[in-house]
Amino acid sequence: MPMNESPAIRYRRLAEESLKLAKTCPPGKERDVSLQMAQVWQRLADQYINSTSPLFQAGVSEQPTAQQQQQIQPTDEDKDRDES
């Protein structure tokens, strides 16, 4: 982690790491939690950008980007496993 990394960039990096982790997990709670964490990190990045004055933003790279996140739906097998 670079020492001069702004909070928004750090939050986005953590969101990416959470998404990568989710892709390596089998369907279930662990994957769901990783996806939720990615959403939280992305929301924090967006909130940071929206709450800081343009004069204090480090650069254009911190501007919110439009991203689509795929919601992984649990299968019947996952639902059965969670219920037991």
The structural domains of the chain, with segments of one domain joined by +, span 7-83
DSSP state letter for 52: S
Tens of pLDDT, residue by residue over 1-23, are 567 888 999 999 999 999 999 99
Q: Of 5-14, 35-44, 48-57, which gets the smallest average pLDDT?
A: 48-57
8 and 49 Cβ atoms separated by less than 8 Å: yes
